[in-house]
Structure 1
Amino acid sequence: MSSTDSAPVAPRRYDLDDLLAIMARLRDPQSGCPWDLAQTFATILPFTLEEAYEVADAIERDDMPELRDELGDLLLQVVFHARMAEERGSFAFAEVVQAICEKLVRRHPHVFADTALDDGAAVREHWERVKAAERAHKGAGAAPPGALDGVARALPALLRAEKLQRRAARVGFDWDDAAGVFAKVEEELAECRETLARPAGDPERVHEVGDLLFSCVNLARHLGVDAEQALREAGQRFERRFGAVESRLREAGRAPAAELRDEMERLWGEVKREERG
């Protein structure tokens, strides 16, 4: 190596303090980024939700490099919200960390204290008792908290439905077994059929379809199936199979169209049989 050559410079190693400083710089009123400065909790919320779903997608695909990047994007959302809260004098990132550490220690006495919890079921039961006590403490002085209080409205609809049902089941409001839920699904399906005689925009049709979906979530819960995950996987299967149908049509010099519905159904069945082995 000649004297004019220099050794390669190692990339800078950043840490969490650097991320917090970068976020503060982006939000600096004098020298920050105009886009970042224009954001509010409400405008950032869709990005926060999107990043959480992208983390889930990377996990489902078992893509570790992508998961690393998506977790970083999700962490940025936490830092962004905390920075905006600090600017308002509400709380800072350090208080977010303090609160979650206190919560984890409080909810795991079998790890950080002397409480004995022998299995996963006991741990979950204790976790729910602590959460209920926390909700009651937050609502001290007001009306007693209801069994369904605290289930976030922004959750995906299927996930929220399942959480509401689980909360109700803990206080005894539930079917004894899956047979009762099957009957309820059939009842709701029949009521949906009845709405076919109504105008397309009739609110009753929306109401009955919602009841049917809610009952299907209940059935999934009784069968030990995660409804949100099951529907995601169903969407992925549909996407994959329809892509295969499109590919086979292209090979024949055609494209999907209404007049080819019978052919598309035939190809769909063919793809489905091949997938099943």
Structure 2
Amino acid sequence: MPQNIIPSTGNTPASAFERLLTVMNTLREQCPWDKKQTMESLRHLTIEETYELSDAILEADPDEIKKEIGDIMLHLVFYARIASETGQFDIVDVLNGICEKLIIRHPHIYGDTVVQSEDDVKRNWEKLKLKEGNKSVLGGVPPSLPALVKASRIQEKARGVGFDWEDKSQVWEKVEEEMQEFKEEFNTVSGVPVDIEKAEAEFGDLLFSLINYARFIKINPENALEKTNKKFIKRFQYLESKAAENGKALQDMTLAEMDIFWNEAKTI
């Protein structure tokens, strides 16, 4: 097989995107791995790349963010290329489609609708989606979203049509109410057998109310929890390394001994 000419580096957004399409087309036609791929085989890889982009954003690593955006863009043009082979749609249809949607959904920019705030924009967005055929405001929330993210999206969409608390103090009252109900259902001190199903339901209500409060004070609960996960991992791995330095295994240490290293980790 003759060697392919490497397409020149693009100096504009249009030429750089055209270069990606050229490379994608060549790989699809000539690479054994790329030729085998389907939308279904790429799906789990795309999910993985999305999480890698999310990690890079949380780490505030611009080089990694740039790389992961590129990986996701490759996947997007890959899907469009696969669809074009059966005449379903192509990349031009995809790009024009999203442009048309954005123009229609922004009548305050491309029409004569007047808005005063971000909330007005969100309300208009949801109204337009209903006119386009959505049967429910919540219909656009993907069922497969992780529960924490899904709760945030449900609350945001409800707010978009005016179904929301008026003040954050009301939301905090709800948090305290749900906390009390959970304590009543899951009071481990009393020694009374716990109804796990009821306790689970109350715990879910408590989480939902906390996510709601986070929204009111501009905290992204997914980001907040992931940062705590990363902090815990860093501290726990420090604990493991210090234990190893002292010739000990964690399972052989007392909690008091582990706490010494854990508290050291907090200062790093």
Task: State the TM bucket, normalised to the shorter chain.
Answer: 0.7 to 0.9
Larger relative contact order (CA 8 Å, sep ≥ 6): 2
Q: Which residue of 1 aligns with 2:13?
A: none
- 8 Å CA contact retained: 2:58, 2:227: no
Q: Distance in 2 between matches of 1:90 and 1:126?
A: 33
- 8 Å CA contact retained: 1:244, 1:271: yes
- 8 Å CA contact retained: 2:8, 2:19: no
* RMSD, aligned α-carbons: 3.1
1:165 pairs, out of 155, 167, 172, with 155
Q: Which residue of 1 aligns with 2:138?
A: 148
- 8 Å CA contact retained: 2:178, 2:202: no
2:185 pairs, out of 191, 195, 200, with 191
Q: Which residue of 2 aligns with 1:98?
A: 96
Q: Specify whether residues 128 and 246 from structure 1 end up closer, same or farther in structure 2 by C-alpha distance, changes over 3 A only.
A: same
1:46 pairs, out of 44, 47, 54, with 44
Shift, 1:12, TM fit: 3.5
Q: Which residue of 1 aligns with 2:120?
A: 125
Q: Distance in 1 between matches of 2:41 and 2:193?
A: 41
Percent identity over the alignment is 33
Q: Name the amino acid aligned to 1:21.
A: T
Shift, 1:229, TM fit: 0.9
Task: Name the count of aligned residue pairs.
Answer: 252
Q: Specify whether residues 151 and 85 from structure 1 end up closer, same or farther in structure 2 by C-alpha distance, changes over 3 A only.
A: same
CA offsets 1:69-103 (integer angstroms, 9 cap, x no match): 11100101111121222223221111111112122
Deviates more, 1:150-159 or 1:168-177: 168-177
- Secondary structure of residue in 2 paired with 1:216: helix
TM-score of the two chains, using structure 2 as the length reference: 0.78
Q: Which residue of 1 aligns with 2:260?
A: 266
Q: How does 1:227-246 map to 2 (within 5 A)?
A: 227-246=221-240
TM-score of the two chains, using structure 1 as the length reference: 0.76
Shift, 1:237, TM fit: 1.0
